[in-house]
């Protein structure tokens, strides 16, 4: 993989390439942004490009250094992932021991810490020492979707690089070009992915569309006036926190679509374009204030469940508050 193979993030890549061409490479970076958008891939390509024998600010993919990186056996490129729930201090000590020596191949040595916020506090303290006393030719790249979990002392010693969610078009393109997802499905998954390729792939795997169809029919379909029917979707949420959050996302997107349609009259802006008739009918039957209120209610339930609130109580309370009228 090379910079040219990364979908989106043109600005971030430009910054990294400029750093290389002007030889102003930071000793520590923090790549942060939502999950599944390409932070880790960009970090890997950056590490490859730094040592590429062609040396033109890109990873050529065929020199000996690029090949070693691709095969996962470049001695100066290490990827550290959490073992279980945390990155332990032992990992950081190993990094420090390696940093004491010059890179084996005479170029740059890069350590990529994936989900770096999972460092426990002893590990973070040990890392702080490394950040305070940088050594030449060693680069640390912390990759994280939860940068707010880092101690400020760590964050302030890294050069931050924020990765934005990808556009709907970029996710759509990726799904079609890389995974041969049919165009119709790709468009829908991209629209609901929130700009994350990883999320779109997950949804594709878990048959997201049939879950969404079920929810949408219960909440916005012709039977929606029946309050018992509305409550029956609580069962469709399942028991797993992750599934519940995903379904709340779907519900929020339905109300959001209805509000967008109400305000703009445009189908083009909907996440669930293929279900425009139900969304239009629901939008016509509700005021913008009610739709906005519903979005907030779902938001609140999402936050509560994300914070470990009682799942069934939260969902029931949410259902009571939603505006169910025709």
Contacts to Zn ion by CB under 5 A: 52, 54, 60, 63, 66
Q: Minimum Å distance from CB 221 to Zn ion? A: 55
> Tokens 């940088």 correspond to what residue?
134
The β-bridge relationship of strands 159-162 and 77-80 is: unpaired
Q: Minimum Å distance from CB 63 to Zn ion? A: 3
Specify the 3-state DSSP secondary structure of 78: strand
Q: Of 52 and 142, which has the nearer Cβ to Zn ion? A: 52
Q: Of 3 and 261, which has the nearer Cβ to Zn ion? A: 3
Nearest Cα neighbor of 154 from 172, 177, 138, 130 is: 130
Q: Alpha-carbon distance 119 to 82, whole Å?
A: 8
Q: Of 66 and 295, which has the nearer Cβ to Zn ion? A: 66
Residues whose CB falls within 8 Å of the CB of residue 47, separated by 6 or more in sequence, listed in order: 69, 77, 108, 110, 112, 139, 141
Q: Minimum Å distance from CB 172 to Zn ion? A: 30
Q: Minimum Å distance from CB 60 to Zn ion? A: 3
Specify the 3-state DSSP secondary structure of 256: helix
Q: Of 64 and 167, which has the nearer Cβ to Zn ion? A: 64
Q: Of 52 and 95, which has the nearer Cβ to Zn ion? A: 52
Asked whether 189 and 170 are in contact (CB, 8 A), the reply is no
């Amino acid at each position: 993989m090379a910079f040219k193979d990364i979908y989106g993030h043109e600005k971030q890549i430009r910054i990294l390439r400029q750093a290389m061409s002007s030889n102003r490479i930071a000793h520590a970076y923090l790549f942060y942004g939502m999950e599944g958008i390409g932070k880790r891939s960009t970090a890997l390509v950056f590490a490859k490009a730094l040592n590429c024998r062609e040396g033109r600010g890109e990873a050529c993919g065929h020199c000996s250094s690029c090949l070693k990186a691709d095969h996962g056996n470049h001695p100066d490129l290490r990827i550290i992932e959490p073992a279980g729930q945390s990155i332990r201090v032992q990992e950081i000590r190993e990094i420090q021991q390696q940093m004491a020596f010059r890179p084996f191949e005479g170029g740059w040595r890069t350590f990529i810490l994936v989900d770096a916020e999972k460092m426990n506090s002893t590990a973070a303290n040990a890392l702080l020492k490394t950040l305070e006393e940088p050594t030449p030719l060693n680069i640390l790249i912390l990759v994280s979707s939860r940068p707010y979990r880092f101690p400020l002392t760590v964050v302030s010693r890294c050069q931050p690089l924020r990765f934005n969610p990808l556009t709907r078009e970029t996710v759509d393109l990726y799904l079609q070009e890389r995974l041969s997802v049919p165009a119709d499905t790709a468009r829908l998954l991209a629209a609901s992915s929130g700009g994350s390729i990883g999320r779109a792939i997950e949804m594709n795997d878990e048959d997201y569309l049939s879950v969404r169809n079920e929810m949408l029919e219960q909440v916005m379909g012709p039977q929606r006036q029946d309050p018992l029917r509305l409550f029956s979707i609580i069962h469709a949420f399942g028991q797993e926190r992750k599934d519940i959050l995903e379904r709340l996302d779907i519900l929020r997107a339905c109300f959001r679509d209805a509000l967008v349609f109400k305000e703009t009259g445009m189908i083009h802006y909907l996440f669930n374009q293929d279900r425009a008739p139900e969304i239009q009918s629901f939008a016509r039957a509700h005021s913008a204030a009610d739709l906005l209120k519903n979005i907030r209610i779902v938001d609140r339930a999402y936050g509560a469940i994300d914070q470990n609130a009682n799942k069934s109580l939260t969902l029931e309370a949410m259902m009571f508050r939603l505006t169910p009228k025709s």
